[in-house]
Amino acid sequence: MTNAPPSDSMQARAREVEREFAGLEDSIARYRYLVELGERMPRLSEAEKSDETRLPGCQFGLWILTDYDAERDVLRFRVDSDARISRGLAALLVRVLDGQPPAAIADASLDFMDTIGLRGHLSANRTNGLSAMIEEIRARAEHYARES
């Protein structure tokens, strides 16, 4: 990793997510909100849901598309999933990481995922899926950080 400082806007987005989840009274409300966030995220077309974009090892289908804007040195993500919770988790990651420099994404702590209190309530499969999603996004960011 490059030890790049995190983007101010990435930190601000993460703190905004933390504030939103802090206002929810219990884990049921957090899950409802998570599902709602996933439902708001644009869906991928069937053509975009290919073997090349599918995250391997996920119990449910999860697809990640990454576009690199070399002129601005930022990554853009589009993610979709067949599972509502996974789609919501993806929406949170996209919300915080989309449009950020690859080096900052590769080094991002993503501690907001623990702070919002969901990780402790996820099933083992969903926890593994979230970890796989984060690892894949970081790997792509590291690739583009090396290329730039």
Residue with tokens 């069937």: 46
Q: Which of 10, 36, 17 is nearest to 100 (CA)?
A: 10
Residue 2 has a pLDDT of: 41
Residue 56 has a pLDDT of: 86
Residue 6 has a pLDDT of: 45
Residue 123 has a pLDDT of: 82
Per-run averaged pLDDT (10 residues), the chain, 148 residues? 56 94 91 96 96 85 96 96 94 96 94 86 83 94 91
Measured from the Cβ of residue 133, the count of other Cβ atoms closer than 10 Å reads 20
Q: Are 6 and 14 in contact (CB under 8 A)?
A: no
Residue 126 has a pLDDT of: 84
Q: Which domains does the chain have, with CATH numbers?
A: 8-147 (3.90.1010.10)
For the four alpha carbons of 72, 51, 137 and 93, in that order, the dihedral sign comes to: positive
Residue 7 has a pLDDT of: 55
What are the residue numbers of the active site? 58
Strands 62-69 and 74-81: antiparallel
